[in-house]
Amino acid sequence: MIRRRLPDLIDPFVPAEGPPPDRLWRFMAWVLRGALPAVSLSLIVSIAIGITEVVSAQLVGWLIDIAQARGAAGFLAGNWLILLAMAGFFLLLRPTLLGLGAALTSLSLGPNLYPLVLARLNRHTLGQALSFFDDDFAGRIAQKQQQTARAITDAVSEAVNTFGLAVTAIVGAIAIVGHMNLWLAAAMLVWLAGYVLLIRHYMPQVRARSTARAAARAVVTGQVVDTITNIATVKLFSHGLHEDEAALRALEGYRGATVAFGRVSSAFRFWLMALAGALPVALIGGALVLWTRDLATAGDIATAGIIATRLAQMSGWVSMAAMGMFANVGEIEDGIRTLSPAHTITDATQPQTPARIRGAVSFENVTFGYGRPVPALDGFTLDVRPGERVALIGRSGVGKSTAVSLLLRLYDVEAGRIMLDDVDIREIRQDLLRAQIGMVRQETAMFNRSAMENIRYGRPEASDEEVFAAARRAEAHEFILTLRDFKGREGYSAHLGERGVKLSGGQRQRVALARVILKNAPVLVLDEATSALDSEVEAAIQETLETVMEGKTVIAIAHRLSTIARMDRIVVLDGGRIVEEGTHQSLLARRGLYARFWEHQSGGFIDVAAE
């Protein structure tokens, strides 16, 4: 019954309130909130185990003294109740406490702390702005999450199981030895002071070296993940040797940090073993000297011997646990630096919830430059009526993709505002805002999940038939039926590989189109949505897009004239501002920038200098 209930002492998936603090102990309190009752119970059991360790030594000494006093003939006859009680202590009470402590660690703390911490860190990371991920390696961020969750789990388990037992055992041992002889107690206190000083000297070094080692390990992870993620580019440019050298440089940094950690660790262990060896010499030798002077009994010698050897062994175990804890603290602090930054894009305190989105989009004097001196958009103003289809064109870097990223609030404007149905998008909850916008990007990545799951991502509650219908409209159904992955899964059950690597560019875009069709949002953003399609498939999908775009507000970034010519309005950007806008024919008649793009067209494309 107890073992069945122990896993439920901690709810590993309850959210934590607010962002994680950037200070160690406040951060620990944040990630462990809700787990403290189980941790406290484990600590109480650990303290109880520590008490049994001290009591067991006292009982052995006491029993020896009784046996010596009563002799062999009278001992068994008159002391069977004492023997029975001691048997109960050693056979029932002590094993029960040890078993309960082990069960709490293996069934409550171990299985729950790691998912509790990782879920909270991952939930906070998912809420970060896109710029957070732009500035780091995906593999490094994931590694930091797992490293921090593991380090916290190990640190808490070690602290509970080690220090509750150890502190209780040491305090109890000093009390028992002090009752025997104050000089022996004084010797223990001197030993304990030396032990504390040793830990105080080495633990900060262990902590610092561990932090450096964790950072160096993250560099290795980031380098390896970056190389493997871009393995096709590595092979195309024959840069396997270059990437191998980069990995070796990262590994050399990790090796150096590990050697520095090892130097501190080995020195600490040497002095620790020397100090641990001094305790039995002091206690047992002191007890023997007292015995020769009739100031101690044989039981006292036995008690001192058991306490000395137990504490010597325990000191090694505790110190190794302490070193592990401080190493884990170093890794936690390294993780805090990466994972604790507050969200830069947050929901309003009292967000608005529009009843029905018509799809009116308005950019009002928007300026944004990714923090750089020259803005990508500078005073950008554009009104898009509900149901209007607008194309954004211009050279690379003029701010077209930036505009749609700001509309989706992947970044926040630096000046101006963006309105959706006369509501500032910063006043709309982010999830609700993005639920109103369907987007297909030029570089469409798939999850390494089944084709069914990838399409259903547009609307998770959709039925299989609705997924099939969306795939047919996106001209994806036929090729999906031919898919087969390395595990033998076929059709809609086949997995698409990391980032959809098993599909061609055109196939990925058709799956992405199916996903957006299924989502059926009132605002549709197409960022080169058909760029990877061949002409025949594009022609078929254009007919689908005509149907999909009906009644929706459409903002399209495209270079193919087949897409642009069908738009209600074409907006030409240059230098982060609108320089021309109108229909295809009216812009040609103006003989401006759009007309020059048109004159340079070739094979149905706008000049490749355009984005």
Q: Name all domains of the chain by residue range, CATH numbers in brackets.
A: 10-339 (1.20.1560.10), 354-436+521-611 (3.40.50.300), 446-506 (no CATH)
State the pLDDT at residue 606: 44
Query: What percent of the chain is predicted at pLDDT more than 90?
Result: 27
Worst-scoring range by mean pLDDT, 9-18, 25-34, 302-311? Answer: 302-311
- In the chain, what's the furthest Cα-to-Cα distance? 124
Determine the average pLDDT of the residues in 178-198: 80
611 — pLDDT class (breaks 50, 70, 90): very low
State the pLDDT at residue 98: 84
State the pLDDT at residue 412: 92
- B/e letters for 321-331, b = 16+ CB within 10 Å, e = fewer, are bbbbbbbbbbb
State the pLDDT at residue 536: 60
* Cα–Cα dist 41/19, whole Å: 27
State the pLDDT at residue 69: 63
Of the two residues 572 and 550, the one the predictor is more confident about is 572
Confirm if 20 and 336 have CB atoms less than 8 A apart.
Answer: yes
State the pLDDT at residue 204: 84
Determine the average pLDDT of the residues in 462-466: 94
Of the two residues 315 and 572, the one the predictor is more confident about is 572
* Cα–Cα dist 473/494, whole Å: 20
* Cα–Cα dist 538/488, whole Å: 30
State the pLDDT at residue 409: 93
Sign (positive or negative) of CA dihedral 70, 71, 73, 75: positive
Q: Which two three-digit tokens encode residue 265? A: 């660790």
Say if pTM beats, i.e. exceeds, 0.75.
no
Worst-scoring range by mean pLDDT, 273-277, 374-378, 403-407, 589-593? Answer: 273-277
Determine the average pLDDT of the residues in 24-32: 92
